[in-house]
Structure formats: structure tokens, C-alpha cells
């Protein structure tokens, strides 16, 4: 029960970060918003690591993978923050939910896992769900929708790299290093687009880093009480918080096609998680 509460709490926190990012996108460049997410994450996470988890603060055994992971998430965040600056939070997140499908497609290549017919069928079904949301030929496909799909693609590779790091580095160290990579890269790029924020905007930029840190910390803590494969389907709870924030603050509510596509993508994703869990238990 602890694992479920912690995990669901994380999926409440992370959409709040997205809500602040969407609000700021009308006045602050996307790259600057992305920079703030990483810069303030490091400022918040580093003291927590040093004070509460000093014994786990050991240098990574796989620095190259940590760098790749940081680059992937940084790029995914840029694409996602751009997408929500144009389209609704719910539509962007729904399209980004293709990440588990990408994991399944790339698992035979990058993780050397065997993927059976049922999981391939679930992948195809999931992509049909994304086509329902996009409706090519009926609705013009814009760059923001493609960016949301790109987010899901990069996040899928990010999840594969995370799996490879799971048995070598402490999750909190991985969280910190991912933040450091993003903060360094963002700090090199952000002067090009920098817009001087107001005091309120500074508070919101800090809030983005705060809720990102809190959300990921809750996810890490939840994994202490339950296996990742069992908790993974709970990630779809994020859409509920996402829809509430989108409707209450931005007057956006998903249309019936988006709901239908979301339903198809979520079902296929959950099926994939269940099959992976079943296969692991049979090993």
C-alpha cells in the first residue's frame, strides 16, 4: 500500500510541473523553462543527497550511460515543453504515452529481450491509438503533436537506459546526475534565448524544479516497497491530474477522439507491462 500511495503521489506532482511550464511558455522561451527544471532540481536534490543519503553517494560505475540518460531526458523535456506550449496538456501527454511501445520495439536490439507475438500486437494497437489522436488526413498534424510523439520516442530509449543502470547505480545518484547533465547543457544554451523573468516567474521556474524533484523522489521511494513492473501501470494515473490542471487553469478538455486514443494506448501499454511481468516471473 505504501508503494501505491507514493507512486500515485508522484503522478500528482509531475503534472503540476507541466502546468507551470505551460503557463510560463507564453512569456519565457522553452529552452529557459527546461534549464530551470534542471538547474533548480540540482539545487534541491544535492542537499537532500548529502544530508539524508550520504552513504549512497558513490560515483557512478557507468558514466557514459549516465550522460546518455541525461541527454535523452533533457531532449525529451525540450520537446514536451514545446508541445504543451502549443497543444493541450492532455493531448501532448497522450501522444507521449507511446514510450512503453518504443521500449518494446527496441528491447530486442538494446536489451536482447525476446518479444512475442502478443506484445507486438499490443504495440501495433498502441500506435493505432496514437493515430486516432492525431487523425492524419482529417486534422492537420502540427509540429507540437510531432514533438509530443518525439518525447515518447526519446523517453522510451531513456527507460531502456534506466533499466541498464538499475543494477549498478543508486537511483538517487542517477536522479542527481541526470539533473547535473541537464543543468550543464542548459546553462550553456540558455544565454542565447534568455528573457529576464519577473519575480513571479522566478518563483514558477523554481516550482518546476521543485515538483520535478519531489515527483521523482516519490517514484524512487515507491520502488523500495514494490517492483517497478508492478508499479509501472500506475504511471497512467498522470493523465487524470493532467486533465484536471488543463481544464481548470487553461480551459482545455480532451475531445472524444483524444479519449478514445488514450484508452487504446493505455490498454496496450498495460498489456505490455503485464506480459513483461509474466515473462520475468517465468524466468
- Return d(Cα 87, Cα 89) in angstroms, integer: 7
| pLDDT at 52 (0 to 100) | 66
Q: What is the pLDDT of residue 103?
A: 85
* Cβ neighbours of residue 215 closer than 8 Å, sequence gap 6 or more: 10, 11, 13, 14, 17
pLDDT along the chain (283 residues), means of 10: 86 93 95 96 83 68 86 95 94 90 84 78 88 74 91 90 73 82 94 95 96 87 73 83 92 90 89 73 52
- Distance between CA 32 and CA 163 in Å, rounded? 29
**So what's the pLDDT on residue 228?**
65
| Residue-level pLDDT at 194 | 95
Tell me what pLDDT residue 175 has. 81
pLDDT for 27: 95
Structural domain tally of the chain? Answer: 1
- Domain around 272: 2-282
* Pairwise CA distance, residues 25 & 86, whole Å: 9
CA distances (Å), origin 264, targets 126, 165, 196, 213, 260: 6, 30, 43, 30, 6
Beta bridge partners of 139: 136
Per-residue pLDDT, 116: 77
Phi, psi of 226 (to 5 degrees): -160, 155
Q: Is the pTM of this model over 0.75?
A: yes
Q: What is the pLDDT of residue 192?
A: 95
Amino acid at each position: 500500500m505504501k508503494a501505491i500511495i507514493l507512486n500515485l503521489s508522484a503522478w500528482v506532482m509531475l503534472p503540476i510541473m507541466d502546468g507551470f511550464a505551460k503557463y510560463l511558455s507564453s512569456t519565457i522561451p522553452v529552452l529557459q523553462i527546461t534549464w530551470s527544471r534542471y538547474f533548480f532540481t540540482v539545487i534541491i536534490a544535492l542537499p537532500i543527497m548529502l544530508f539524508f543519503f550520504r552513504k549512497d553517494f558513490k560515483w557512478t560505475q557507468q558514466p557514459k550511460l549516465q550522460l546518455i540518460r541525461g541527454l535523452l531526458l533533457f531532449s525529451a523535456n525540450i520537446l514536451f515543453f514545446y508541445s504543451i506550449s502549443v497543444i493541450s496538456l492532455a493531448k501532448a501527454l497522450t501522444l507521449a504515452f507511446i514510450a512503453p511501445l518504443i521500449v518494446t520495439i527496441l528491447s530486442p536490439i538494446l536489451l536482447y529481450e525476446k518479444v512475442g507475438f502478443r506484445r507486438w500486437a499490443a504495440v501495433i494497437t498502441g500506435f493505432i491509438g496514437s493515430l486516432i489522436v492525431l487523425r492524419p488526413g482529417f486534422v492537420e498534424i502540427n509540429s507540437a503533436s510531432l514533438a509530443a510523439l518525439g518525447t515518447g520516442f526519446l523517453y522510451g530509449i531513456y527507460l531502456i537506459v534506466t533499466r541498464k543502470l538499475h543494477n549498478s547505480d543508486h537511483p538517487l545518484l542517477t536522479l542527481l546526475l541526470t539533473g547535473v547533465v541537464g543543468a550543464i547543457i542548459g546553462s550553456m544554451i540558455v544565454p542565447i534565448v534568455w528573457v529576464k523573468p519577473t519575480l513571479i516567474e522566478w518563483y514558477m521556474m523554481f516550482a518546476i524544479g521543485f515538483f520535478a524533484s519531489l515527483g521523482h523522489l516519490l517514484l524512487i521511494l515507491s520502488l523500495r516497497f514494490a517492483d517497478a513492473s508492478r508499479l509501472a501501470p500506475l504511471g497512467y494515473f498522470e493523465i487524470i491530474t493532467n486533465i484536471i490542471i488543463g481544464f481548470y487553469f487553461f480551459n482545455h478538455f480532451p475531445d472524444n477522439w483524444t479519449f478514445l486514443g488514450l484508452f487504446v494506448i493505455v490498454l496496450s501499454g498495460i498489456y505490455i507491462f503485464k506480459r513483461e511481468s509474466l515473462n520475468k516471473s517465468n524466468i
